[in-house]
Structure formats: structure tokens, C-alpha cells
Amino acid sequence: MKLSTMLMYDGNPRTAADQVVALEKAGLDTVWVAEAYGFDSPTLMGYLAAKTETVEIGSAILNIYSRTPGALLQTAAGLDNVSQGRAILGLGASGPQVIEGFHGVPYSKPLGRTREIIEIIRAGMSRERLTSDGIFTLPLDKEHGAVTGLGKPLKLLTKPERSSVPIYVAALGEKNVELVGEIADGWLPHLYYPEKAASVWGEPLAAGAKNRSADLGPLEVVAGGMVAIGEGPETKALLDFARPLFALYVGGMGAKGRNFYNDLACHYGYEKEAAEIQELYLNGNKRDAEALVPLEWLEAANLVGPESYVKERIAAFAESGVTSLNVTPVGDDPADIMARLKQWVS
């Protein structure tokens, strides 16, 4: 298994980037840079490319709505160049909360849009001319002059570092995951429960794999959580620090009926808790919502406890199909934790 981590920053990503350098020396393989509705991901990825030497640098995620396919292609090609071939393009539909609430664009046709964008980016990286007969075929708008019909398909002006970049997709829903199994290089599932992964996603992944091109390698799977190594109860208590994140996604990332993370909690068997967390969270009772996040889920999705237990959790993630353990080391010396993990996953 590879080791990866999310770029964690608290107001100053430059400081976090300096910490990535130490983690790289300790054995880190990949760093993921989130975007959501904070700093944009490509700017920080470019900064990381200049600060590091070997670590892969991935977006996790760039949403598929706020940039055109051509802009995503330019970003992928540019990042791959400045990183000297270390870029990974992580894409996802995000959700209505971010797409409509922050970017102000309609959240529509996520499946078709994802497929078409990936096709366009792959063609563009090979310097084919950008064409589309699907969602991104622009209609003539003579009244507003938005499209004149005089443009012609263009190919990427500059020569990319590589003729392709790995494209990973964040997905949770059945149809989205099936699409991942068919066309993506890698999969980025969130709030991942290894022991329940097969029952939730096994069938859609298998269905997608049936139509997977022979040109694509095996699907990479990136998942994990907090890592804290220790014997005492104070170590287990660190799981409480994950509660706000789980409650945010299950309770606050979308309205009722439009929250994919709430649906995921239900698929895991936490229907009652999911409904209560969402009700409390949307009514502003965040602390009460956090208290209802099942401890069983927190324990399974993270790697917190004695060394022997952490090794057991690594094995559980590997057995479920995870190929890159995505960890957030918690402790006085994150680089030391990363170095120990590197020995255990090798």
C-alpha cells in the first residue's frame, strides 16, 4: 500500500506545505489538496510542487461544475509540468451545498458530466482537438451573443509533461461508483468503513469493471483516517476530534434528501443516527449532533490505539481493497508516525 495524506492547514497553507516536506522524507507517497469552498487547490498544488521532490500531488477534489473541461485540462497539464510528472487529477461532483451555495451554478447531470469531462481531458492531454457532442455542446444564443458559432475546435497549445495524468474520482452513490469502476484510474471514497465497503459498493464496482477498458490498470482506492498510536485511554479519546467532521458531512452537507453522506450513513446501517444528526445539525445544534456519531464508525474509519491495533486496521483497509492508505497523523511527531506506518504497509 502507498501512504497519502490530506494537506491540513489552519489559516496558513504555507506552513502546512513545509510539514509535507518532512512527511515526504519519512516515506509519504502522495499529498492530496482539498478545495471545497476555501483556498483553490491548484495554487497550493503548484506551491507544493516547488517545495517537494518525489511526492505525488493530487487534487481531492476539483469539482466538475465551476471550471470548464478546457480549464480542467489546462490545470492538469500545468500541474503535471511544474511537478515534473507527479500530478494526479482528483475530480468529483461535490454536492448542491457547495456547487449551488458557493459557486452559484446548477447542480445537474453529475454522471454524464463526469464521464464527458474525463473523456475530454484524456483527449486533450494527447493533444487532440477538443470536441464534444454531449453536455458541453454549446447551443447558439443569437439573442445574447454568448456563442457565435464561429469558433473551431482547438488542441492544447503547449506540450504536456505526460500524455496522460491519473484521474481519480470521489464518489459514493451507486451509479457514480459504477462509473468510477468503469472509467477512472482511482477512487476517493469519503468516511470509509472497510468492513462494510463490499456490501455497500461491491456490486456497483463489479458492474463498472465489466465495461472497464483494457487500457486502464487496476482501480486504485484511496481511503483512511486519523492515525494515533498509544496505549492509554487518552489516545482513544482522540477519536472525539473526528466527530465534528463526521457530523458536518452527515448533518450539514446538503438539505434533507440531498445529502449523499447522510445516505452513506444509512447504507452503513445508521439510519436512526443519520436522521437525528441531520435534524440537530440543520437546527444549529452541532455539538449534540456530534455526540450522536456512532463510536463504532469512528473506530472503524480511523486507526487509533496501540501499535498492534493500528496494524490490524491497516490490514482491514488493505483487505477491503484500499491501495493507498490516506492518513492524518496525530501526535508530537507526525513524521515519526509516518515513518512507522511506512514500515507496516511495505
Mean pLDDT of the region 177-183: 98
pLDDT grade, residue 137 (50/70/90)? low
pLDDT grade, residue 139 (50/70/90)? very low
What's 174-206 look like in SS3? HHHHHHHHHHCCEECCCCCCHHHHHHHHHHHHH
Mean pLDDT of the region 267-283: 98
> Domain 2-229+302-345 classified CATH 3.30.365.10?
no
pLDDT grade, residue 138 (50/70/90)? very low
Domain assignments of the chain as residue spans, ordered by start? 2-229+302-345, 231-301
35: nearest Cα among 92, 105, 106: 92
Mean pLDDT, the chain, as a whole number? 92
- Give me the percent of the chain exceeding a pLDDT of 70: 94
Q: How large is the C-alpha radius of gyration of the chain?
A: 20
pTM score above 0.85: yes
The edge-to-edge listing of strands for the beta sheet with 226-229 is: 303-305, 226-229, 328-329
Residue pointed to by grid coordinates 456497483: 204
pLDDT of 128 higher than 60: yes
Tell me the C-alpha distance between 316 and 242, whole Å.
19
Tell me the C-alpha distance between 126 and 293, whole Å.
46
pLDDT of 107 higher than 80: yes
Handedness of CA 298, 300, 301, 307 (dihedral sign): positive
- Evaluate the omega torsion of the peptide bond into residue 229 and state whether it is cis, within 30 degrees of 0: no
**Considering only 28-32, 40-44, 51-55, 133-137, which range has the smallest mean pLDDT?**
133-137
Task: Specify the DSSP class assigned to residue 248.
Answer: I
pLDDT digits (tens, 9 = 90+) for 221-274: 999 999 999 998 999 999 999 999 999 999 998 888 889 999 999 999 999 999
pLDDT grade, residue 15 (50/70/90)? confident
Tell me the C-alpha distance between 61 and 36, whole Å.
8
pLDDT grade, residue 151 (50/70/90)? low
202: nearest Cα among 219, 224, 216: 219
Tell me the C-alpha distance between 276 and 288, whole Å.
9
328: nearest Cα among 337, 315, 320: 337
pLDDT of 312 higher than 50: yes
Q: Which residues contact 161 (CB under 8 A, 6 or more apart)?
A: 77, 80, 81, 83, 84, 85
pLDDT of 172 higher than 60: yes
pLDDT digits (tens, 9 = 90+) for 69-81: 999 999 999 999 9
CA distances (Å), origin 346, targets 99, 188, 220, 243, 328: 39, 21, 17, 30, 18
Question: With contact defined as beta carbons under 8 Å apart, do 49 and 82 qualify?
Answer: yes
Question: With contact defined as beta carbons under 8 Å apart, do 194 and 320 qualify?
Answer: yes
